[in-house]
Structure 1
Amino acid sequence: MENREVFLKAMQERYSCKRFDENRKIPKEDLEMILEFGRLSPSSFGMEPWRFSVVQSQTLKERIRPLCWDQPQITTCSDLVLVKSILGPLAPGSRYSRDMLSRRDLPKEKVEAYCDLYDTFAAHKLATEGLFCWGSKQCYIAAANMMTGAAAMGIDSCPIEGFEKEKVEALLEMDPAKEELALIIAFGYRVKPAPEKIRLPLDQIVEYL
C-alpha cells in the first residue's frame, strides 16, 4: 500500500469514538508513539507551545468526567490526554522564546533579528487575540497529528471541547499565568463499528485561484 493510501485509510477510519472498550489498554510503546506524533508537529515560530498531561488514573478520570458534560468517553478510554498551551513563555522578550529561536546554528545577528521579529509578532498577538488563542491553534495541529497517527495504528480517539475549562484547570491545579487547557483527547479502542463518515464533497469546499 502506498504511503498516501495508508494516510487516506487512517483519515477514513478515524472517527470521534464516544465509548471505548474499558478492558483494553493502549500499550506503552504505542501511547508514546502517539505523543511523539504530537511532539514532532509544526508550530508557529517553532515555539512548540503544547504540553501534554496523560491521565491514566481511573479515579482522576472520574473526577474530571462531571466537568466534561458527563461524557462517557472520559472514563471508558484507555488514556485521556489533556492538551495545554503555555502562556507566559510565549510573551515577547521571554527567555523561553530566546532559547527556542537560538536552537539553530545561525549567526548572532540573524538570531537577534529573528527575536525582534518574534517580539513584534507576539506583542501584536498579545494585544489582539491573546496568547492563549494563538497557542491553542498550534495545539490543534499537534492534536490532529496525534489522532490521525493513532488511527493508522488501529487506535481510536475523540477530541473533546465540551468541558468546563476553569473547573478542570482548578482540579488539575494549573497556574493560569503559565498555561491553559486547550482541548482534551480520549484514546482507546472502539466497542462498536464506526458510523458512516459524512463529509461535504471537494467541489463544495475548494476553489482554485
Structure 2
Amino acid sequence: MKETLLSALRFRHACKHFDKTRQIPGEDLEFILEAGRLSPSSMGLEHWKFIVVRTPALKTQLQGACGDQPQLGSCSAAVVILAKKAELAPDSEYVRALLKREVPQAEYEGLLRFYADFAQRVDLVAWSVAQCHIAAANMMTAAAAIGIDSCPIGGFDPAAVREVLDIDGRRYEVALILPLGYRAQPQPARHRLPLEALVEYR
C-alpha cells in the first residue's frame, strides 16, 4: 500500500502538453471527482464546487484567461475548482446545516458561536481557497494512481475565468484550475529537496 501511493506521487508531475487524441473515460473522471468530494475540509464545510470543462471552445477560452498556457487547450478535461464565499457567512443556512451534522445537539450552539467569532478573525475567502487546494491535491493523486496526468494552474485572470464560465463572483472565488489528460511527452526529471532539509523533529 505504501509503495502504491508513493508510485502515484512519483508518476504525478505538472504536465504541460497533453495528448489531444486521448480522452478520459467518464468513469475515470468520476473517480477523480469523487476523490475531491471525499476530501477533508476545515469544520466539515466542504468549501468546493467543481465545474468540469470538456467543450473545446470553452477550453480555448479558458486558455486565454490563463495566460495562454498550452495545457488547457490540449487537456481532455479541466476541472475549475470554485471556493464558496456567500455560503460561509456565519448566519447562512449552509453553515448551520453542515455544522449541525458535526457535533451533538448539545454542542451545536457553542459551535455556531465559535464559528461566528472565527469568521470575524480570518479572511474567509482565503480560508475557503486553501481548503479547495486539499481537494485538488487528492484529485491529482487519484488521477496519478490510474495513469492520468494533471497540472494545477494558479496563474489566471479571475475575472476572465468568471466571465468565460458565467460564475457569480458574489458566491464563488476561483481557487484553482486542474487540467487532466494523458501526457504527450516523457516526464521530465523531478527536483525535490531532500527530506532532511524539510523536516525538524522536536
TM-score by length of 1: 0.94
Q: Which residue of 1 aligns with 2:109?
A: 112
Separation (CA, whole Å) in 1 of partners of 2:171 and 2:163 = 13
Residue 160 of structure 1 aligns with an amino acid whose one-letter code is I
Q: Residue 80 of structure 2 contacts residue 177 of structure 2 at CA under 8 Å; is this kept in 1? A: yes
Distance 2:187 2:112 in 1: 47
1:64 Cα deviation from its structure 2 partner: 1.5
Whether 1:186 and 2:179 are equivalent positions in the alignment is yes
Q: How does 1:6-155 map to 2 (within 5 A)?
A: 6-104=4-102, 106=104, 108-125=105-122, 130-155=123-148
Instruction: Check conservation: 1:51, 1:83, Cα contact below 8 A.
Output: yes
Q: Percent identity?
A: 48
TM-aligned CA deviation for residue 104 of structure 1: 4.5
Alpha-carbon RMSD = 1.0
CA distance in 2, matches of 1:93, 1:116: 10
* Unmatched tracts of structure 2, length 5 or more: none
Q: What TM-score, normalized by structure 2, do the two folds share?
A: 0.97
- Counterpart of 1:100, as a letter, is L
Q: Is the 8 A contact 1:91 1:123 kept in 2?
A: no
Structure 2 residue aligned with 1:195: 188
Distance 1:109 1:115 in 2: 12
What one-letter code is carried by the residue in structure 2 that aligns with 1:17?
C
Give 5+ residue unaligned stretches, structure 1.
none
**8 Å contact from structure 2 (residues 48, 132) kept in 1:** yes
Matched AA of 2:35: F
Conservation of the 8 A alpha-carbon contact between 1:78 and 1:186: yes
Of 113-122 and 183-192, the range deviating more from structure 2: 113-122
Residues 148-167 of structure 1: pairs in structure 2 closer than 5 A? 148-167=141-160
Deviation at 1:19, TM superposition (A): 0.6
Answer yes or no: is the 8 Å Cα contact 2:44–2:102 preserved in 1. Answer: no
C-alpha separation between the residues in 2 aligned to 1:78 and 1:16? Answer: 15
Contact 1:92 1:123 in 2 (8 A): no
* TM-fit CA distance, 1:105: 6.7
Bigger mean CA offset, 165-174 vs 190-199: 165-174
Report the more deviating stretch, 170-179 or 185-194: 170-179
SS in structure 2 at match of 1:160: coil
2:167 equivalent in structure 1? 174
CA gap of 1:105–1:117, structure 2 versus 1, over 3 A, is closer
Matched to 2:116, the amino acid is D
